[in-house]
Structure 1
């Protein structure tokens, strides 16, 4: 998946010699942004059991305020109401809803797998440009599609199962009774069936089954 994203992002008319050296900083800036995004993903994973929409609101407020301040410092001015409304609409779906779904993916898949799926975004953008902006279908686009499809297939067909031990753990998140995964066997009085959220504890347990690095499976290998 990463190889496909790199292929799509590689400049088609790359400069050479001195021009290449002077144009290196944009690529380094992208790498630095990705580094901070990776840190953000791992920090967010630690609080991913919290309400995903609340996390999206807090992060959106912080990021939006920071970007607005930077824009004003750079001399930008607010656009008219029409453009501002359109930008807010795009931001609601492209950042707000997207981030809430991403937090849910972090909760169940872990940071590395969620990040890998999310990195298919360049291909989706390139595909939309072909469908709606009449961009040509190129060999890099086709090669990236093949690489990303292969990466997603490898993820979806992954079967990670082994005997592992659960330590004592106490947290709060949405879970179901009866427990299909064997991790939520605590009792309620009166008996309860269905989904709910409350603070609960997990006792030490050893078992074997297929799993992802979710909130209950962050053991070392």
Structure 2
């Protein structure tokens, strides 16, 4: 299986571009006693201190990296930027072929996943499959009953979303694999003006409930810190 390692995709690559003068971090996951104080979507200046109790697990994303903080302890929000985006890019390039294959872009549709998907450019929306060894087919059915068959050649992992099924915000689409009977269901949220930075992209994904893409974004930039 050909492994695709460019996990970051379009949304993550922009971390190498300009950073706002007053940088901030955003909470992307929060568990434990302090979760109400640090809910997902909350932004903090880099100078802020994050105070966690025992049992707290809070993941924050900054302009260049994500980090999981485990309590108890006091943490500087700005320490998420200790790992540069360039360093992370090199790390993913070094992954072994035996590692789990990852979607090359958070904006592509992983056909094995269910749920809501944020779309930055409906005209360039792509379907991605983790296993590209053999040729495969899927059927996509829209809510109004229209169906389109998609063919993947052996070795091909991505293909464009069919133009015959226009992407409409709020509409649900069923993706079925005829050979296995496996099915997934996705709905789209159009975000044509997606922010050009990691923190902004995470906020948009959180606000629109695009959890799988948020997980992918965070996974590509994560490191873990305990006090």
Provide TM-score, normalisation by structure 1.
Answer: 0.23
Greater Rg by CA: 1
Structure number with higher strand proportion:
2
Give 1 or 2: higher helix fraction. 1
